[in-house]
């Protein structure tokens, strides 16, 4: 396994902002670093808020992780300051290959918390409105670094500076980046991913649509 990464910040909602394009009318995408440890559990990050529960939150999307290296890329690309939490992520990491994480991979955060990589983030028009960048969804998609939604298997406190260690990596090897790329990815590898137990329902549906499969039998 690779060297441990590090928690840059654990981020919670700062303020609810107007969402001119979403169905709820407001969004909790404005997240900022918490000043100390924050508890996480199977329902998400304590002190955070999810408004659009049809598309966000739930056990398969309890925590959204994004790499600070990718935030740095976008800061240079856009020529503006991109701070931790600005992409709506709960967990900002450093030294961890989030795009290259295998679906089903498990991370230990600090001494107590274990999370499982569930699925990539699919960018939406709310994200585009928040960023106020032309063609943002398309640009974010083409870059191919979506971040990862995490399940929380063992809850506990998370805070800046804690190590993040990969403790399990499934043999199928299909990464968050591959699952996000969809049609650009080897169909056989996507079918292999569909066979995996505990696959997030939203990801399974997206893969079936990509592959033109109406149903799949889980082993």
DSSP 160: T
Helix axes 201-211, 187-194, angle to 10 degrees: 140
Per DSSP, 102 falls in state B
Summarised one tens digit per residue, pLDDT across range 148-173 is 999 999 999 999 999 999 999 999 99
Q: Taking 60 as the threshold, does the pLDDT of residue 219 lie above it? A: no
* pTM check: above 0.85: yes
* Section 9-32 average pLDDT: 92
Residue 217 has pLDDT above 60, yes or no: no
Residue-averaged pLDDT of the chain: 92
Spatial neighbors of 143 by CB under 8 A, at least 6 apart, are 70, 73, 74
> What confidence score (pLDDT) does residue 1 get?
65
> pLDDT at position 218, please?
46
Contact (CB, 8 A) for 159 and 36: yes
Neighbours of 110 (CB within 10 A): 16
- Each residue's pLDDT tens digit, 101-145: 999 999 999 999 999 999 999 999 999 999 999 999 999 999 999
Mean pLDDT, residues 55-83 = 94
- For the chain, list the domains and their CATH numbers: 5-184 (2.40.33.20)
> Residue written as tokens 């971040």?
147
Residues 6+ apart with CB under 8 A from 26: 16, 17, 18, 19, 51
**pLDDT computed for residue 52 by the predictor:** 65
> Angle, nearest 10°, between helix axes 68-78 and 136-143?
130
Average pLDDT over residues 38-57: 85
Rounded CA-CA distance 18/209 in Å is 32
Q: What is the pLDDT of residue 49?
A: 85
Contact assessment for residue 104 and residue 117, using Cβ atoms and an 8 Å cutoff: yes
């Amino acid at each position: 396994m690779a060297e441990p990464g590090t928690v840059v910040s654990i981020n919670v909602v700062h303020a609810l902002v107007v969402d001119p394009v979403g169905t709820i009318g407001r969004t909790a995408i404005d997240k900022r670093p918490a000043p100390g440890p924050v508890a996480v559990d199977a329902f998400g990050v304590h002190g955070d808020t999810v408004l659009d529960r049809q598309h966000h939150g739930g056990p398969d999307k309890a925590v959204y992780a994004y790499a600070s290296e990718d935030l740095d890329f976008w800061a240079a690309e856009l020529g503006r300051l991109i701070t931790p939490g600005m992409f709506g992520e709960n967990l900002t990491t450093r030294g961890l290959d989030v795009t290259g994480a295998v679906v089903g991979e498990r991370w230990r955060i600090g001494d107590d918390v274990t999370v499982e990589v569930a699925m990539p983030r699919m960018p939406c028009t709310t994200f585009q409105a928040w960023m106020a960048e032309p063609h943002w969804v398309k640009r974010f998609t083409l870059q191919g670094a979506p971040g990862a939604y995490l399940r929380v298997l063992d809850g506990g406190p998370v805070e800046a500076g804690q190590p993040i260690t990969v403790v399990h990596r499934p043999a199928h090897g299909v990464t968050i980046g591959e699952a996000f790329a969809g049609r650009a990815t080897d169909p056989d590898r996507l079918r292999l991913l569909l066979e995996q137990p505990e696959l997030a329902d939203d990801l399974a549906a997206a893969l079936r649509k990509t592959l033109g499969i109406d149903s799949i039998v889980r082993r």
